[in-house]
C-alpha cells in the first residue's frame, strides 16, 4: 500500500473511531485526521476504543514533529485526558445525539421535555457556555428529587434521563472549547470523519461481507491513503 507523504505541520486534529458490526465484534477502526487539510494522518484497526490506542496515535504524530493546535473527539469517557496538553473539543453532535436518544421522541415528564429542548436547540441557536450551564444546572436542581426516584426494586425510575444528565456532565468541560477559542479554528464536531469517511468505510464492509477481514481492511486502508495522495497543502496550514 502506497502511503502519501505526511509532512509535520500545525494541525487541528480530529479523531474518531467506528465499528463495522457491533462493539462486541471487536471490529473497528480509529482515524486521526488533519481537519482543515482533510488528510488522514494515522489509522489503526482496533478491537476496542481504549485510551492506549489514542495514546499510540498521539505519540506517533508528536514524534513526527506535528504541532497540535487542538483535538476534537467524540467524547467517550476517559479519552479527553489523553490530550490534556491541548485544547479538547467534544463533538457537539455526539452530545446532542445522546440527549435526544435518552429523552425519546415524545418525552412525558417536564424534565424530559426540558432536556430535549436543550438537545434540539443548543447547536442550532449557538448557545453560549453560560447559557447551556444555566439551563443544565436549573434542571439538575429543580428535578433533583424526580431524578432520584426509585421503583419497588430500588432501581432508579428515570434511568434514561439520568444517563442524559450524566453524559452532559462528562462532556461539559470540553463542550464549548471551540466557541471560547475562536482564533484557533477548532472544529466543533467530528463530522470530517464521522460524516465524510465513515460512510464510505461502512459501504466497503457492507459490500464485501464475504471477504476476509484482513483483505477487507487492506481495501479500507488503500481508500484512506488515496485521500491524501494528491493533496496540495496550503502554506497557511504550515503556519508560514
Please say whether the dihedral angle defined by the alpha carbons of residues 27, 167, 14 and 124, taken in this order, is positive or negative: positive
Say whether pLDDT at 60 is over 60. yes
Q: What is the predicted pLDDT for the residue at 26? A: 84
Residues in the chain: 240
The span from the CA of 151 to the CA of 90, in Å, is 34
- Bridge partners of residue 205, in order along the sequence: none
Q: Please give the model's pTM, rounded to 2 decimal places.
A: 0.88
The span from the CA of 54 to the CA of 59, in Å, is 9
| pLDDT tens by residue, 172-221 | 999 999 999 999 999 999 998 988 898 889 999 889 888 999 999 999 99
Amino acid at each position: 500500500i502506497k502511503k502519501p507523504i505526511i509532512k509535520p505541520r500545525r494541525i487541528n486534529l480530529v479523531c474518531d473511531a467506528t465499528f463495522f458490526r457491533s462493539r462486541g465484534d471487536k471490529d473497528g477502526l480509529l482515524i486521526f485526521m488533519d481537519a482543515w487539510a482533510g488528510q488522514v494522518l494515522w489509522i489503526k484497526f482496533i478491537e476496542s476504543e481504549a485510551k492506549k490506542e489514542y495514546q499510540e496515535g498521539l505519540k506517533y504524530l508528536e514524534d513526527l514533529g506535528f504541532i497540535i493546535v487542538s483535538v476534537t473527539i467524540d467524547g467517550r469517557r476517559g479519552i479527553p485526558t489523553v490530550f490534556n496538553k491541548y485544547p479538547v473539543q467534544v463533538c457537539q453532535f455526539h452530545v446532542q445525539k445522546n440527549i435526544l436518544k435518552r429523552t425519546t421522541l415524545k418525552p412525558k415528564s417536564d424534565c424530559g421535555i426540558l432536556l430535549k429542548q436543550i438537545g434540539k436547540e443548543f447547536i442550532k441557536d449557538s448557545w453560549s457556555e453560560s447559557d447551556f450551564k444555566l439551563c443544565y444546572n436549573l434542571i439538575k436542581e429543580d428535578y433533583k428529587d424526580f431524578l432520584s426516584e426509585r421503583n419497588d426494586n430500588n432501581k432508579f425510575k428515570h434511568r434514561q434521563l439520568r444517563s442524559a444528565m450524566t453524559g452532559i456532565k462528562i462532556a461539559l468541560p470540553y463542550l464549548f472549547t471551540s466557541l471560547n477559542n475562536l482564533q484557533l479554528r477548532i472544529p466543533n464536531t467530528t463530522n470530517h470523519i464521522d460524516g465524510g469517511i465513515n460512510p464510505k468505510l461502512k459501504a466497503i464492509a457492507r459490500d464485501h461481507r464475504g471477504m476476509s477481514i484482513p483483505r477487507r481492511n487492506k481495501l479500507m486502508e488503500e481508500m484512506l491513503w488515496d485521500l491524501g495522495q494528491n493533496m496540495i497543502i496550503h502554506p497557511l496550514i504550515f503556519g508560514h
